[in-house]
């Protein structure tokens, strides 16, 4: 992991950034003092846990509608079928960044 601004690989943890569905660790670069977070590979506001849960349901053969119903009920969120479809297609096509 490196700083997105200067490319330096020496940084410290600097708190958490919270949105409606997840928390992300904030880092501060020791070289340029900029702050950054690590994006998840699906460019999502949802946590890795929720994305993993959706993909696990998909691998079990559940439909998008069933996945949305199960996850929304369990996590108390408003996930859409189009979001589930986009995550599945991204993973299937291996277009995410490493």
Residue 62 has pLDDT above 90, yes or no: yes
**What are 52's strand-pairing partners?**
none
How far, in Å, CA of 46 to CA of 13, rounded?
A: 21
Confidence of residue 1 (pLDDT cuts 50, 70, 90): confident
Residue 4 has pLDDT above 60, yes or no: yes
Confidence of residue 83 (pLDDT cuts 50, 70, 90): very high
Strands of the chain, DSSP E: 11-18, 23-29, 35-37
| pTM of this structure | 0.59
**Nearest CA-CA partner of 71 in 44, 95, 96:** 44
Mean pLDDT (the chain) is 85
């Amino acid at each position: 992991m490196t700083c997105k601004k200067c490319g330096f690989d020496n940084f410290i943890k600097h708190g958490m950034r919270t949105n409606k569905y997840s928390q992300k660790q904030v880092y501060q670069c020791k070289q340029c003092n900029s702050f950054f977070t690590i994006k998840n590979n699906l460019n999502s506001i949802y946590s890795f846990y929720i994305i993993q849960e959706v993909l696990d349901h998909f691998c079990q053969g559940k439909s998008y509608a069933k996945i949305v119903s199960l996850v929304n009920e369990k996590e108390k969120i408003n996930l859409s079928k189009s979001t589930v479809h986009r995550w599945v297609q991204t993973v299937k096509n291996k277009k995410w960044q490493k």
